[in-house]
Every structure is written in structure tokens, then in C-alpha cells.
A and B are shown apart, each in its own frame.
Chain A
Amino acid sequence: MKPSTASSNKDHQSSASGSAAGPDRSADSSSAARRVATAGLLASLALIFSYVEALVPFNAGVPGVKLGLANLVPLIVLYRLDARYAAAVNLIRVALAGLLFTGAFAALYSLAGCIVSFLVMWICKRTSLFSIIGVSMAGGVFHNLGQLCVAMAAVSGLQLIHYMPVLIMSGIIAGIIVGIGAQILVDRIPAKLFR
């Protein structure tokens, strides 16, 4: 009796450890594929936000003033996953949206804005001095400033600095709106979606 229980116990243990090791190993072997799939899914989600924004005719009279709805996705990803996913989502989204909706040259502006704003948001988040709304606001403002810098380099006009107050204010407003949205979504989206 004793040996049998011991063996059954051992069996049970080994099978348990085996079943525990199974998913682990498969997660290890498929983690690269999993990362690609996750990033691709999120990037396409961000692309749809870009599309929605391109669909809605909204012209504030000053080029560059827009809501930046597509920033919702990288922002949530930054908070729920990590910075690598957010960076990947951002870059894929900008490249595709640039080719599909705005044209390659305007994509340069977007790219500059996105890189600058993403770095700023990442740093702001790491300091943990700001809420997601503050992080989003900083991202909005620096997105516009990055674009302005490219525009100033492109037309080599320091005159464009006149746009700066407008772009800063619009960045603040758009960033706060997107940040509130991101706050709500981060609260509501079940955490297991990101596991």
C-alpha cells in the first residue's frame, strides 16, 4: 500500500509538474509569435482609429490641429503592456496610416511627432509623477512640437514659430481628452486581455 500510494503520489506530482511545464514551454516557444500577433493586433486597432480620424472632416483652420484619437492605443499599451509594444504599435500605425491616408511626405511629419511624443510619454510615465491624463497631455503637446520642428526644417522658416502657441494649446486640449478616454479604457478593459 505504502509504496503504491507513494508512487501514485509521485506520479501525480510528476504529471502536475509536467502539465505545469507544458504551457510554460509552449509559451516560451511561441512567445515570439505571440508578441508579433499581439503587436499586429494592436497596430491594426490603432490604424482603425487613424482611419476613423481621417474619415471625420475636422478642420480647425490651422494645419496640425487634430484630436489624435490614434494615440489612445499606444497610451493604453504603454500602461497595460510595455514600452516595446507601444513603440512597435506606434511605428507600424504611422507607416501604414501615412501610406494609406495622408501620403508619404506627411507621414514624415507624423513620424517625427510620434517618436518625440512617444519618448516624452514614456519618460513621463517612468517618473510616475503624472497620471495617464498628464502623460497624454505631454504626448499631445510634444507631438505637435515635433511636427513643428520638421515643418520648420522642411520650409526652413523660423516664421512658423508663430504657430507654437496654437499648437501647444491644441496639444493640451487634445491630450487631455485622449487621456481621459485612456483612463476610462484602462479601468474598464479586463486585464486578462493583455496577458
Chain B
Amino acid sequence: MQYRKILRKGDFVLLFIFVLAAALTAFLPLSRPASSSQLVRITCRGEDYGIFPLGEDREVDVASGDHHNLVSIHGGTVHMESADCRNQVCVNTGTISRSGDLIVCLPNQVVVEIIGEEENEDEAIDSVVK
């Protein structure tokens, strides 16, 4: 089979256009992973303490009065590193990484919440169609 005779110029133009379209959609700003647009909102005693991007690693010391909560944002996940509260429920909550997930420290009245875009589809299933 001689594909050189079969293939036409249009085929290669078409292939080029499709590959270009794939590349363009791959590098669209829209197609960045959703996790980079997610935010971590920290609330202390009902007031906003700060909003931080989930994508950037950092430690946030939430201080109010004598109380301290150390929030750690690392690798797209959030956990309560340490807290000086009685029950340590917040520390034992572990790590959160999805929109809407919460870490709550009731004694110190600290709420850590992930807000923003929907979850990254690499980690979560949007819907299953059978």
C-alpha cells in the first residue's frame, strides 16, 4: 500500500489544524488545574482572618488573644499543624483538599475552609454516566 499516493495535502493541513487546536486548548488559561484557583479562607471569632491561595505553600499563625492555631497549607492540602485548644479536634481532623472542606476549632473559634472553583478533576469524579 503506497500511502504517499493516497494521502493528500488536505490531510496534513487537517492534521496540523487538529494538533494546533489540541495544543491551544491545552495551554488555554482556562485549562490550568482548578486547584490553583482554590482559596483557603481562615475565619477567627466570626471575622475574616485571611484568604490564601491553596496552591502556595505557607504556614499561617492564627493568633487571637492568648490562643494560637498554626494552619499549614502544603501541596494543595490544608491541615491544622498545632493548636492550643483543649480538645485538639481541629488537629485530628487531618488534611483537607476539596472545595467546601472545613477544619473547625470550636474552643478557639477558628474556621478553615477551602473555597473557590470546583474540584480538580484529576482527584475527583464530576459525575459517572453508565
Residues of chain A touching chain B, judged by Cβ–Cβ distance below 8 Å, are 63, 103, 105-106, 109, 124, 127, 129-134, 137-138, 141, 151, 154-155, 157-162, 164-165, 168-169, 171-172, 180, 183-184, 187
- State the Cβ distance, A159 to closest chain B Cβ, in Å: 6
Question: What's the nearest-Cβ distance from chain A to residue B114, in Å?
Answer: 16
Output the least CB separation between A132 and chain B (Å): 8
Question: Complex Cα distance A82/B14, Å?
Answer: 23
Taking a contact as CB atoms closer than 8 A, the residue among A63, A105, A138, A160 that contacts B14 in the complex is: A138
CB neighbours (8 Å) of B51 from chain A are: none
Closest 5 CB pairs of A and B: A134-B11, A129-B10, A165-B26, A168-B22, A164-B25
Binds A, one of B1-9, B54-62, B70-78: B1-9
Instruction: Supply 15 further A-B pairs (C-beta < 8 A) apart from A109-B129, A130-B11.
Output: A129-B9, A130-B8, A130-B14, A131-B6, A131-B10, A134-B7, A151-B129, A159-B34, A159-B117, A160-B121, A164-B25, A164-B31, A165-B26, A172-B19, A183-B6
Checking B10, B14, B118 against A157 with a beta-carbon cut-off of 8 angstroms, the contacting residue is: B118
Interface centre among A127, A134, A160 (most CB of B within 10 A): A134
Chain B residues whose C-beta falls within 8 Å of the C-beta of A160 in the assembled complex: 121, 126
| Known pairs A105-B130, A184-B1; A168 contacts B25 (CB<8 A) | yes
Q: Are B127 and A161 in contact (CB under 8 A)?
A: no
Q: How many of chain B's residues touch chain A, expressed as a range?
A: 20 to 34
Q: Are B31 and A133 neighbours in the complex by a CB distance under 8 Å? A: no
B106 at the interface (CB under 8 A from A): no
Q: B interface, by DSSP: helix, strand, loop or mixed? A: helix
Across the interface, which residues of A come within 8 angstroms of B18, CB to CB? 137-138, 141, 168, 171-172
Q: Contacts A158-B30, A183-B1: A130 and B10 contacting too (C-beta < 8 A)?
A: yes
7 interchain pairs, CB-CB under 8 A: A106-B130, A131-B6, A133-B3, A154-B129, A162-B30, A164-B25, A165-B23
Judging by beta carbons under 8 Å apart, are A162 and B121 in contact?
yes
**Complex Cα distance A183/B8, Å?**
13
Chain B contacts of A130 at CB under 8 A?
8, 10-11, 14
Contact flag A134-B8 (CB < 8 Å), given A161-B30, A168-B22: yes
- CB of B21 closer than 8 Å to a CB of A: yes
A171 to B19, CA, bound (A): 11
Q: Is A164 touching B6 in the complex (CB atoms < 8 A)?
A: no
CA distance A134 to B127 in the complex (A): 33
CB atoms of A169 and B14 under 8 A apart: no
Given contacts A158-B30, A160-B126, contact A134 B118 (CB under 8 A): no
Q: How far is the CB of A113 from chain B (nearest CB, A)?
A: 13
* Contact assessment for B23 and A105 in the assembled complex, using a CB-CB cutoff below 8 Å: no
User: In the complex, what residues of B have CB within 8 A of residue A134's CB?
Assistant: 7-8, 10-11, 14-15
